[in-house]
Structure 1
Amino acid sequence: MDGKGWNTWGEGVAFGLENGMAVIPYALLKYYRKLNLTGSESMLLIHLLSFRQVEGIDFPSLEELQAVTGRSIPVIAGELQKLMKEGFISIDGADDELRDIHYERYNFSGLYAKLGTYLAEVSREKAQEKPGQAGREPGARAVAHHSGTPIPDGGGNGRLAVPGDKEAEGGRSLFSIFEKEFGRPLSPMECESISGWVDEDRYPEELILLALKESVFAGKVHFRYIDRILLEWARNRVKNAQDVKAYSQKFRGGGR
């Protein structure tokens, strides 16, 4: 390589180093599949860690994540939903009284706890293994490796789905519908709200979409108003479209 080539290479290395370096747990790279994470979900975690360490951004927007991953916002939102639901990450909120602002940040303690638990299991099994058993990962006998291995669908029903399962993937359409009605990408907190309605409150998707529709008709398209609608319906045992119609007719002309 001539001197010019070395200069170009050296300048490239220098430029890369000046842009910063992120510290990524090697255990995440090595064992993410053992934690039932896909490659894209693991890469999303790596990007979140990198945003904090290199960019100083504790709560990157969906648009910022889209720019570095090249994936669609609904897909990213769905992956964040799964990571939060399964306890890999959480969102902490705090108030800055001096600047009078509220801010959020991703908390990775769940990820580190899961990695630590798995590594402890690996260490324990290695200490107990007999001759001829070396190299076996925890739970290896229970895992069948083939192209149709089921993966968690990220929904609240605990069902497993294989890639391409349209019924399992249908739940993510909620994010797309909300983004279309709001006319903008959803924030991670808004995605978490939708996830909470489905996974914690157990509202049927039909009911969530009806509440969204009612908020649009009322000209109050924001999550707090939709949440109030769902709470009111839950108190009055409104569970489906027929119940909504009957409830609306009963209280027609009344204020909310």
Structure 2
Amino acid sequence: MAMNEGNNAWAKGIAYGMGAGAVNVPYPLLAHYRKLRLNDTEAMLLIQLLAFQQIERNDFPSLGQLESRMDMAPGTLAPVIRGLLKEGWISIDEAVDEATGIRSEHYNLSGVYQRLGEWLAEQPSAAVSSKSLDPAPETREEQERNLFVIFEKEFARPLSPMELETIAGWVDQDRYPEELIRLALKEAVFAGKVHFRYIDRILLEWSRNRVRTAEDVKTYTQRFRGGMR
């Protein structure tokens, strides 16, 4: 009896989900948004805008509606939208109703498809086979995952979402080489200061002093430690 009730609940859930509709999201956006220099919030915001347009026929959801949908604090999405506008992922177009003269605005998402198309065209043999959409070896995602494992092993605990985002930022935004991040962690361990703020300071200092390779680190740290004697 309980099994039947469970199956009925499952079937009702599936039926409700199917009835609510499906959103057409470009696969390359889902598969490669990090390589496209989008963070999780930016990618989800684009998906939500697609959902509002396709399912709810709302071309210009308010900030409040978007923040409520994404469970974000008031005011947090405004800078995200400005960034997407600046980078050309979206635009805001104005239309005038010829009958009433009423002006209205709507999000134009054609930039999403344009940016995806441009990026795919730059990939080797992107037009030859859909297999080109599979992650290539040594992608930034793989670098981040490897670093996550290394840091969790060194910290002897799971990393927090903020710490994971910090590592992702070092790779995707600051463009620090993976080798350099690992060496910064090693330096922090050597100094007995194994926390993210200290590691970030090391990376920033190295960046300011044009330290980019393991050999640069060796030379720099030897000079620094030599000066401390």
TM-score calculated relative to the size of structure 1: 0.51
Structure-2 residue corresponding to 1:252: none
Q: Is contact 2:23–2:54 with CA below 8 Å preserved after alignment? A: yes
Deviation at 1:68, TM superposition (A): 0.4
Once residues 127 and 136 of structure 2 are traced to their aligned partners in structure 1, the CA distance between those partners, rounded to angstroms, is 8
Give the % identical residues: 41
Structure-1 residue corresponding to 2:101: 100
Deviation readout 1:95-123 (Å, 9 max, x if unpaired):
01223311111111211111111112224
Q: Is contact 2:120–2:126 with CA below 8 Å preserved after alignment? A: no
Once residues 82 and 23 of structure 2 are traced to their aligned partners in structure 1, the CA distance between those partners, rounded to angstroms, is 24
Once residues 73 and 95 of structure 2 are traced to their aligned partners in structure 1, the CA distance between those partners, rounded to angstroms, is 29
Aligned letter for 1:80? I
Structure-1 residue corresponding to 2:27: 26
Structure-1 residue corresponding to 2:88: 87
- Written as runs of structure 1 = structure 2, the 5 A alignment for 1:138-177 is 147=167, 148-149=170-171, 151=173
Structure-1 residue corresponding to 2:48: 47
Unaligned runs of 5+ in 1: 128-133, 153-162, 166-256
Pair 1:124 & 2:125 matched: yes
Once residues 108 and 126 of structure 2 are traced to their aligned partners in structure 1, the CA distance between those partners, rounded to angstroms, is 30
Aligned letter for 1:94? A
Once residues 20 and 125 of structure 1 are traced to their aligned partners in structure 2, the CA distance between those partners, rounded to angstroms, is 30
Once residues 120 and 67 of structure 1 are traced to their aligned partners in structure 2, the CA distance between those partners, rounded to angstroms, is 36
Deviation readout 1:39-75 (Å, 9 max, x if unpaired):
1110000000000000000000001001100112322
The alignment of Structure 1 onto Structure 2 pairs a total of residues equal to 146
Deviation at 1:126, TM superposition (A): 9.4
Please state whether the residue corresponding to 2:123 is helix, strand or coil.
helix
Deviation at 1:125, TM superposition (A): 7.3
Structure-2 residue corresponding to 1:64: 65
Aligned letter for 1:48? L
Deviation at 1:149, TM superposition (A): 3.2
Once residues 150 and 73 of structure 1 are traced to their aligned partners in structure 2, the CA distance between those partners, rounded to angstroms, is 27
Please state whether the residue corresponding to 1:74 is helix, strand or coil.
coil
Please state whether the residue corresponding to 2:34 is helix, strand or coil.
helix
Q: Is contact 2:90–2:112 with CA below 8 Å preserved after alignment? A: yes
Aligned letter for 1:114? R
Pair 1:9 & 2:10 matched: yes
Deviation readout 1:229-248 (Å, 9 max, x if unpaired):
xxxxxxxxxxxxxxxxxxxx
Once residues 61 and 72 of structure 2 are traced to their aligned partners in structure 1, the CA distance between those partners, rounded to angstroms, is 15
Aligned letter for 2:40? G
Deviation at 1:12, TM superposition (A): 1.0
Please state whether the residue corresponding to 2:75 is helix, strand or coil.
helix
Q: Is contact 2:37–2:172 with CA below 8 Å preserved after alignment? A: no
Please state whether the residue corresponding to 2:55 is helix, strand or coil.
helix
Please state whether the residue corresponding to 1:149 is helix, strand or coil.
helix
Q: Is contact 2:84–2:90 with CA below 8 Å preserved after alignment? A: yes
Return closer, same or farther for 1:118/1:136 CA change in 2, 3 Å cut-off: farther
Once residues 109 and 127 of structure 2 are traced to their aligned partners in structure 1, the CA distance between those partners, rounded to angstroms, is 27
Structure-2 residue corresponding to 1:38: 39
Unaligned runs of 5+ in 2: 129-134, 148-166, 175-195, 201-229
Aligned letter for 1:151? Q
Pair 1:76 & 2:77 matched: yes
